[in-house]
Structure 1
Amino acid sequence: MRRTVTAFVGLLLVVGGPLLVAPWYGWGATPGAPVTITVAKGASLTGVANDLEEARLVDSQRHFRLLARLLGSDRPVQAGSYTLEPGVGWRRYLEAMQQGRVTRYTLTIPEGLPSVVIADKLNAEPRLIGRARVPDEGSVLPDTYDFQPGEPRGRVLRRMQAAMTKTLAELWPKRSKTTVVKTPEEAIILASIVEKETGKPSERRKVAGVYSNRLRQGIKLDADPTVIYPVTKGRPLGRRILRSELNADTGYNTYLKPGLPKGPIANPGRASIAAVLDPEPTDALYFVADGSGGHVFAATLPEHNANVAKWFAIRRQRGEM
């Protein structure tokens, strides 16, 4: 059969076929702006040819089908969205769709994002369908996720949650003997606090070490984000914490009693989970911002108070107090 096709193509070239096969190889074609088409699941060659003609990537769907059958592979096309460039030759279109070289669409979930904002991001993505519910806090792994246009938002969310389940199952057995958390659920809770307290990767294990020390000694964590969470569900507060909020028994307020809050306050990333499962050995019990995006740590309250005074001085110089 292949010999017959080769002979037929050779005959076309001899008797004027170059014009017939030119589009297949892109001979004399004019480049243009990329065009995206979507191939439905189970689409036939005829359906794909019609889509290519409608997108003006081929000038005749019948011509495309003829050349595809004579010169192309007989493999089926794969579903998905494809970004195709005019002028590269029709064979490139067929090869891309047969090999599944789909256009990569991504959605990034930053570390420490609360679940209400994750739902907002999913629902704001116009290429997805359906509506995403607000997931349980701490159930989503921050990462960059691929999706296809027309995919249900709920399906993408389930992938994000499956990634968290898989990551926690991988990290939990590797936990250090120095960790204070007793269950994977506690690991997520403490990791969410670490995530909200520092955005500096190099500090994660030390912050985890400070909180581990405080938990061991029965000292309150005194973490501002745990006070804010029940007020805003993790969204920015936009003002200073009120005295009434510091005194409110919400189940999250770590200024009110020692121990972990009743649940996560954000969705922690892999690095923060790993940090609480293997905290840095330290004698520090306190930390405060240093004015440069990081923190300064202290083992004693007098040392900490001196560091706080320096931080307040920096804020006054900035006009923040």
Structure 2
Amino acid sequence: MALVGFGTWQSWRWWSWAKAPMVVTDTAPLVQLAIEPGTSVDRIGQDLAAAGLIRSTTAWDVWSRAWSLRRDLAGDPGFYQAGTYALSPNQSLPDIARVLWDGEVEEIGFTIPEGWSIRQMADYFAAQGFFESEQFLAAAAQIPRDRFPWLPDNMPHLEGFLFPETYALGSGQITPALVIEMMLTQFETVALPLYQSQSSTLALTLKDWVTLASIVEKEAVLPEERARIAGVLDNRLRIGMNLQVDPTVEYGLGIQQTPDRPLTLTEVQTPSPYNTYVNPGLPPTPIASPSRASLEAVLNPEVNDYLYFVARYDGTHVFSQTLADHEAAQEAIHDARSSPPSSPIIP
């Protein structure tokens, strides 16, 4: 009995040592560990030991077998999941096993601002090192109607339907297709119900709604002006007047004007399917990803008599009912911008 007891005590002491956390400081940095699909339990143990996260690969193997049996009996026939994990040497072996089993991968967040185009998104993802911009553009040219049957027909790409939001993904899961699926799902959750709730009275198709909202998004700087701008655009469409909005010209030409470099007359007159100065109606697709606020503004535009608006370069606009008032406002803004600031009078 003494030998058995001694042996049991020795085994308990070894097992307690093996499952205890590594002796490290409280400020020990996290260790990033990548597990590829199909990696064996033995290989995972070797990688954990090499990273200084566990002491014994034998203990890892024994614990993994026991853990697998226990979870299987509990009706959870899972296994360690692939992905990239952020682990601490302070974690015990059982805690590490649980993290890998439950797939608590390290998450990487990304934020798509309101008003971004697909091209801006692609460049952003490339700059973050997620994937090449051309990979994203190619994926955004695929219209997954099997998964999202509400997407409009005859769409050359998903411009406007990739909802701007902050997202989080497991670091081992980031692909253009998965990112796009998340953004379309968010549109389906947030934006689509807005349209469907008013579709019986709304004269706009889903694509036209998003297209008009994308123009409002690019034109409006202040939230309180969204509905007013939407009202102006609605007025123009109702009387058959060209929309005449600069962002559509910029989108068609792949350029962006600035206060110091506005669009030229030649650019405004350059033929393009997106040029709303020369083409009546809406452009063929959205020109950016509109926010919920812009989508709501198009559903509930301000009722007004304005047909024109011009930016003051401080975020606000001057709204006019007549062309004469509009041209006067343009001239006043130009003069104010061209005039040098007055010098203080020094006695």
Q: Which amino acid aligns with 2:135?
A: R
The 5 Å alignment of 1:54-73 reads 54-69=50-65
Asked if 1 retains the 8 angstrom alpha-carbon contact of 2:118 and 2:137, the reply is: no
In structure 2, the CA distance between the partners of 1:149 and 1:317, relative to structure 1 (3 Å rule), is farther
How many angstroms apart in 2 are the aligned matches of 1:173 and 1:210? 24
Contact 1:168 1:184 in 2 (8 A): no
* Cα distance, 1:106–1:14 mapped onto 2, change above 3 Å: same
CA contact (8 A) 1:210 1:282 kept: yes
Aligned to 1:209: 231
* Distance in 2, Cα, partners of 1:53 & 1:27: 11
Match of 2:36 among 1, 23, 40: 40
What are structure 2's unaligned runs of at least 5 residues?
Answer: 72-77, 141-156, 342-347
Bigger shift: residues 156-165 or 10-19: 10-19
Q: CA deviation at 1:103?
A: 1.3
* C-alpha spacing 1:281/1:264, structure 2 compared with 1 (3 Å): same
Contact 1:30/1:86, CA 8 A, preserved across alignment: no
Q: Whole-Å Cα distance in 2 between the matches of residues 22 and 314 of structure 1?
A: 77
Quickly say closer, same or farther: Cα 1:216–1:11, change in 2 above 3 A: farther
RMSD value, Cα:
3.4
Structure 1 residue 153 displacement after superposition: 2.3
Structure 1 residue 43: Cα displacement: 4.5
Aligned pair 1:131/2:135, yes or no? Answer: yes
Other structure's SS at 2:53 match: coil
What residue is the counterpart of 2:302 in the other structure? Answer: 280
Partner of residue 261 from structure 1, selected from 261, 270, 283: 283
Which residue is 1:120 aligned to? 123
| 2:79 maps to which of 76, 79, 104 | 76
Of 281-290 and 185-194, more deviation after overlay is shown by: 281-290
CA distance in 2, matches of 1:96, 1:303: 66
Which of 102, 106, 111 matches 2:105?
102
Q: Secondary structure at the match of 2:137?
A: coil
User: Is the CA contact (8 Å cut-off) linking 1:254 and 1:260 kept in structure 2?
Assistant: yes
1:283 to partner: Cα distance: 3.4
Q: Within 5 Å, which residues of 2 pair with 1:301-316?
A: 301=323, 303-305=325-327, 307-316=329-338
**CA distance 1:131–1:301, change in 2 (3 Å):** closer
Match of 1:24 in 2: 19
On the 8 A contact 1:138/1:192 being kept in 2, the answer is yes
CA 280–92 in structure 1, closer or farther in 2 if over 3 Å, else same: farther
If the length of structure 2 is used for normalisation, what is the TM-score?
Answer: 0.74
SS of the residue 2:302 aligns to:
coil
Q: Distance in 2 between matches of 1:27 and 1:103?
A: 21
Task: Specify the alignment match of 1:92 in structure 2.
Answer: 95
Equivalent residue, structure 2, for 1:218: 240
Q: Percent of counterpart pairs with the same letter?
A: 32
The alpha-carbon distance between structure 1 residues 259 and 86, as it changes in their structure 2 partners (threshold 3 A), is same
Contact 2:49–2:57 under 8 Å retained in 1: yes
Could you say which residue in structure 2 is the equivalent of 1:297? 319
Letter in 1 for 2:101: Q
Q: 2:278 aligns to what SS in structure 1?
A: coil
SS of residue paired to 2:135: coil
Task: Give the Cα separation in 2 of the matches to 1:178 and 1:309.
Answer: 40
Rounded to whole Å, the distance in 2 between the matches of 1:19 and 1:298 is: 83
Preserved contact between residue 204 and residue 275 of structure 1 (Cα < 8 Å): yes
Q: CA deviation at 1:307?
A: 4.1
The aligned runs of 1:127-276 (5 Å cut-off) are 127-128=130-131, 131-134=135-138, 135=140, 136=157, 137-147=159-169, 148-149=171-172, 151-164=174-187, 167-175=190-198, 181-232=203-254, 235-237=255-257, 239-276=261-298
Give the letter for the 1:315 counterpart: R
Measure, in 2, the Cα distance between the counterparts of 1:261 and 1:80: 42
How far apart in 2 are the matches of 1:12 and 1:125? 55
The TM-score with structure 1 as length reference comes to 0.80
**Would you say the 8 A contact 1:38–1:79 is kept in 2?**
yes
Q: Pick which of 196-205 and 220-229 moved more.
A: 196-205
Counterpart Cα distance in 2 of 1:196 and 1:318 = 29
SS in 2 for 1:126: coil
Of 295-304 and 88-97, more deviation after overlay is shown by: 295-304
Q: Which runs of 5+ in 1 are unaligned?
A: 1-7
Cα drift, residue 54 of structure 1:
2.5
- Cα 1:27–1:260 change in 2 (3 A) is closer
- 3-state SS of paired residue (1:132): helix
Per-residue Cα deviation, 1:276-314 (whole angstroms, up to 9, x for no partner): 122233333333334432334344555545543453344
